[in-house]
């Protein structure tokens, strides 16, 4: 049994859904198909929520509905079209009802209740289309089976409860294929909870772990895992095979191809992960599995933008000791902020973090109670795995470096932003 996960780019239009069906039709084993919202739908629903407080969202809601309806009318005929259209109308009516009750004080809660519909809509369309072309499947509302806590926008999985639910629902007694949603789960009270942006990969890994899948395949619009992001670096090359720990390093420091939480559920059960391109499904892509050594001798370059460098000095001018570090990480933990880099001297601590939706502002306010705080915004973090002197000389402009940190295999650079018009 295998898990296929399709991202939003693969189902952005009717042709994309037809291509998904073509890929699924080649699979001879039992299959679970995990699907994200139609391309850019999550962003559109997020934008919708920014107008929820003043109830000025009707036109935008209608635009999202019209887009889904147009895809449905392209894919279906007669009775199936009527059934799918009726369900789409019902769900958009439900979204409207939720938005009418919107309260800014519960923004995270309402975010999850609304945004979850992106995946419900896409999977309904995919499931019905597969059935219409004689690829029989069952549609599953994953919110009833993937059980989380009430940490809205970044739910934490309840593994024991989820395991029981998933094994019972995905029994394969009456079908060889299920279609379900990525990115979302639900509480025991029936509330929708999202798993963090790009969390659909994580859903695929959870299902693979619980169902003891033979493999998880993530279908992307890129050839596989590349050694550099083509948006920032020239001539990126395909990584044909990498170890689990290598994938974790890449994901942690900002590589966009694999979600950071995806690897552990696969590693625990030694389940291989394939990253393949839905545009060229005949090609193998990248395999992430048990690999003892890194074999390609390619440097891997990862660039994260929108970074904040925070430098702290104890107000008492005391040395940076365990107590200072303990207090710092207490504040960081309370704001649920991920630290990308930390460096300390005798009397200062510097940390590099993502600029996260107001969280950094709250962290700075909290830190100011005990530390003298300085910070720089709009920075970049360049991570180079398997670096060589030649690569660093080529890719790192010394004039832009604020912080440099090296270990045996990895070099990190916190960089000032490029001047307008400069080449990277």
**What pLDDT is attached to residue 295?**
64
Q: What are phi and psi of 243, to 5 degrees?
A: -80, 160
Average pLDDT (156-175) is: 97
Of 173, 103, 184, 96, the residue nearest 148 (C-alpha): 184
**What pLDDT is attached to residue 11?**
97
Structural domains of the chain, ranges and CATH numbers in brackets: 2-220 (3.40.1160.10), 300-415 (3.30.2130.10)
Higher pLDDT, residue 177 or 293: 177
Give the list of residues 6+ apart from residue 419 with CB closer than 8 angstroms, or none.
none
Confidence of residue 25 (pLDDT cuts 50, 70, 90): very high
**What pLDDT is attached to residue 235?**
87
Q: Would strands 215-220 and 31-35 be described as parallel, antiparallel, or unpaired?
A: unpaired
Rounded to whole angstroms, the Cα distance separating 110 from 399 reads 45
Considering Cα of 272, then 278, then 155, then 226, what sign does the dihedral take? Answer: positive
Rounded to whole angstroms, the Cα distance separating 311 from 78 reads 64
Rounded to whole angstroms, the Cα distance separating 79 from 86 reads 11
pLDDT tens, 366-387? 888 888 999 999 999 999 999 9
**What pLDDT is attached to residue 259?**
78
The mean-pLDDT minimum among 68-77, 208-217, 234-243, 356-365 falls in 356-365
Longest distance between any two alpha carbons in the chain, whole Å: 76
Higher pLDDT, residue 314 or 61: 61
Angle between helices 41-50 and 107-115 in degrees, nearest 10 = 140
Average pLDDT (74-98) is: 95
Identify the residue whose tokens are 């939480």. 261
If one counts every other C-beta atom within 10 angstroms of the C-beta of residue 164, the result is 13
Higher pLDDT, residue 417 or 15: 15
pTM (whole model) above 0.85: yes
């Amino acid at each position: 049994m295998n898990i296929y996960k399709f991202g939003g780019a693969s189902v952005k239009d009717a042709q994309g859904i037809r291509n998904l069906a073509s890929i699924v039709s080649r699979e001879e084993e039992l299959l679970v198909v995990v699907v994200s919202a139609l391309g850019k739908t999550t962003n559109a629903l997020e934008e919708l929520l920014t107008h929820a407080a003043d109830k000025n969202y009707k036109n935008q809601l209608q635009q999202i509905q019209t887009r889904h309806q147009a895809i449905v009318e392209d894919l279906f005929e007669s009775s199936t079209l009527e059934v799918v259209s009726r369900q789409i109308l019902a769900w958009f009516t439900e979204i409207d009802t939720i938005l009418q009750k919107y309260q800014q004080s519960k923004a995270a809660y309402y975010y999850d209740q609304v945004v979850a519909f992106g995946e419900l809509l896409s999977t309904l369309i995919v499931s019905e289309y597969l059935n219409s072309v004689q690829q029989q499947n069952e549609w599953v509302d994953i919110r009833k089976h993937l059980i989380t806590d009430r940490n809205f926008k970044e739910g934490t999985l309840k593994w024991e409860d989820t395991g029981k639910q998933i094994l019972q629902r995905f029994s394969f007694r009456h079908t060889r294929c299920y279609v379900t949603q990525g990115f979302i789960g639900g509480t025991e009270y029936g509330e929708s909870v999202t798993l963090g942006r790009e969390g659909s990969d994580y859903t695929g890994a959870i299902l693979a772990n619980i169902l003891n899948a033979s493999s998880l395949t993530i279908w992307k619009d890129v050839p596989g895992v590349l050694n550099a992001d083509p948006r920032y670096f020239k001539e990126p090359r395909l990584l044909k095979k990498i170890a689990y720990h290598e994938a974790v390093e890449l994901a942690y420091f900002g590589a966009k191809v694999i979600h950071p939480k995806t690897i552990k559920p696969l590693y625990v059960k030694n389940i291989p992960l394939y990253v393949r391109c839905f545009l060229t499904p005949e090609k193998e892509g990248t395999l992430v599995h048990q690999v003892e050594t890194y074999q390609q001798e390619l440097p891997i370059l990862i660039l994260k933008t929108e970074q904040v460098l925070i430098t702290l000095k104890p107000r008492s001018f005391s040395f940076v000791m365990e107590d200072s570090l303990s207090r710092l990480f207490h504040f960081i933990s309370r704001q649920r902020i991920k630290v990308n880099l930390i460096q300390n001297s005798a009397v200062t601590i510097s940390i590099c973090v993502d600029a996260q939706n107001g969280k950094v502002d709250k962290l700075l306010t909290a830190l100011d109670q005990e530390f003298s705080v300085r910070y720089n915004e709009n920075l970049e973090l360049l991570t180079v795995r398997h670096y060589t002197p030649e690569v660093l000389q080529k890719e790192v402009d010394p004039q832009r470096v604020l912080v440099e940190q090296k270990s045996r295999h990895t070099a990190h650079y916190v960089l000032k932003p490029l001047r307008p018009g400069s080449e990277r």
